[in-house]
């Protein structure tokens, strides 16, 4: 096992990783920007290094400074969390070259699996149903030709996309002529890669993803599914597990296929296979995320399996002690993402408590929320034996949560979970449109 890990991230996920390391007896190094000098993750780690200015490009995306901090402090591994460098194959290769373990897939696997057109082909070969689509398109004229072959409407997507960026719904040739260059420019700005491809637009549908965990010895388990259909502009707002739209029969059919596909890929670590689920009960594979997801906490509280610890263990070569028979999906867990609506200073913070109520956050009283980074303030996750009880518990917890001084979306989350379509589980991706 690693003796020291550098956490190459900030915010609630950095706090989450540092706490897991403490429980495992692993020393931690926090990196921080000048804007995060007084952040909670810096206070919790045994060591800390300032790596640059407030802008992410000067700090959390600066590969050389992060690697230098790891070498200077003697860290054996780097945990990237999610976002920033978590899916950067070049950075993973730099770590490998310098004798530092990147806690995530190998650079080769990351390069291979992050190409959405490649991963779709591999998953089709593994027996998963794939949304009709294309390889990377060389230009707008080819995009129009392929869209007419598939049939409008189609989704135009960035090969290196994530977080809802580089995605456009296109309904005809005229719209394609204007939308293609817009999506290309957005993709270049966000990911440094303007490659685009098309998928058939499955509508109406739900966004359902399956959490997997695999080791170097070829073992893999699936920890059930999460329903992530409550989204605005492709940004997830809340998640739940299990999905109210997935019956036990549907789960029993798709889950072995997911595990088999992961084993065929030779994947190691935590990963997520994302699907669209149509109203006929058909799953359509979209993409694979080769990192920890923001919403991993929903699966953790449902299954009582610590994904961060197992991510670290599998990166150290430790085999899974969990079998598929050990995975229990009883009860219901729901997570609300609590986001800042504007910068501010936390004047009063009150966190709800009680059995199976969890609030993952980096907030402290008097702490500043700056405009430089993601708006996520924390994640409120609750669990109960039934979905009805979980909803009541979540409403109570949201009403108890107080974050004065920073405008936030707690009231909106209360409205979302009180909507009849959410309460009866009939919502889909049109819920917030």
Peptide bond into 242 cis (omega under 30): yes
What's the CA gap between 38 and 261, in Å, rounded? 44
Question: Is residue 156 a contact partner of residue 201, using CB atoms and an 8 Å limit?
Answer: no
Kindly state the tokens that stand for 393: 């518990």
- DSSP conformation letters of 332-379: EEEEEEEEBSS-EE-SEEE---STTEEEEE---TT-EE-SSS--EEEE
What's the CA gap between 391 and 424, in Å, rounded? 11
Q: Catalytic positions, please?
A: 291
Q: Where are the beta strands (DSSP E) in 40-100?
A: 47-52, 77-79
What's the CA gap between 27 and 224, in Å, rounded? 32
Kindly state the tokens that stand for 98: 């310098």
Helix 173-191 vs helix 140-150: angle between axes, to the nearest 10 degrees? 120
What's the CA gap between 4 and 299, in Å, rounded? 27
Alpha helices in 293-333 (DSSP H): 296-303, 307-315
> To which residue do tokens 């730099």 refer?
94
What's the CA gap between 49 and 39, in Å, rounded? 12
Q: Please give the C-alpha separations between residue 66 and each of 2, 36, 50, 71, 220, in angstroms, as whole numbers.
A: 18, 15, 9, 9, 31
């Amino acid at each position: 096992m690693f003796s020291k890990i550098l956490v190459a991230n900030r915010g609630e996920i950095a706090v989450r990783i540092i706490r897991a390391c403490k429980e495992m007896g692993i020393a931690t190094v926090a990196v921080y920007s000048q804007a995060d000098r007084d952040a909670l993750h810096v206070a919790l780690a045994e060591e800390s290094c300032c790596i640059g200015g407030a802008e992410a490009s000067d700090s959390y995306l600066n590969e050389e400074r992060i690697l230098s901090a790891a070498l200077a402090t003697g860290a054996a591994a780097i945990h990237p969390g999610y976002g920033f460098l978590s899916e950067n194959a070049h950075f993973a290769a730099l770590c490998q070259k310098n004798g530092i373990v990147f806690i995530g897939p190998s650079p080769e696997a990351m390069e291979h699996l992050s190409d959405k057109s490649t991963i779709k082909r591999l998953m089709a070969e593994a027996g998963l149903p794939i949304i009709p689509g294309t390889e990377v398109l060389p230009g707008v004229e080819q995009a129009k030709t392929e869209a007419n072959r598939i049939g409008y409407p189609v989704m135009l997507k960035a090969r290196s996309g994530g977080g809802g960026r580089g995605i456009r719904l296109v309904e005809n040739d005229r719209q394609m002529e204007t939308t293609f260059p817009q999506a290309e420019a957005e993709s270049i700005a966000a990911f440094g890669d303007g490659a685009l491809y098309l998928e058939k637009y499955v509508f109406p549908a739900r966004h359902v993803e399956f959490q997997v965990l695999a080791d170097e010895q070829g073992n893999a388990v699936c920890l059930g599914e999460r329903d992530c259909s409550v989204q605005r502009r492709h940004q997830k707002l809340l998640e739940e597990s299990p999905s109210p739209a997935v019956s036990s029969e549907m789960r029993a059919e798709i889950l072995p296929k997911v595990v088999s596909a992961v084993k065929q890929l030779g994947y190691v670590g935590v990963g997520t296979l994302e699907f669209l689920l149509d109203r006929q009960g058909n799953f359509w594979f979209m993409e694979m995320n080769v990192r920890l997801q923001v919403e991993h906490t929903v699966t953790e509280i449902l299954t009582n399996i610590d994904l961060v610890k197992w991510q670290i263990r599998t990166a150290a070569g430790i085999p899974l002690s969990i079998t598929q028979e050990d995975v229990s999906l009883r009860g219901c867990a729901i997570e609300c993402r609590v986001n800042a609506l504007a910068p501010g200073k936390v004047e009063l913070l009150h966190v709800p408590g009680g059995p199976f109520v969890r609030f993952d956050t980096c907030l402290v009283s008097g702490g500043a929320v700056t405009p430089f980074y993601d708006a996520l303030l924390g994640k409120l996750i609750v669990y109960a034996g039934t979905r009805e009880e979980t909803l009541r518990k979540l409403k109570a917890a949201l009403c108890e949560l107080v974050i004065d001084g920073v405008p936030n979306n707690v009231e909106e989350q209360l409205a979302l979970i009180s909507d009849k379509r959410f309460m009866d589980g009939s919502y889909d991706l049109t819920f917030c449109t």
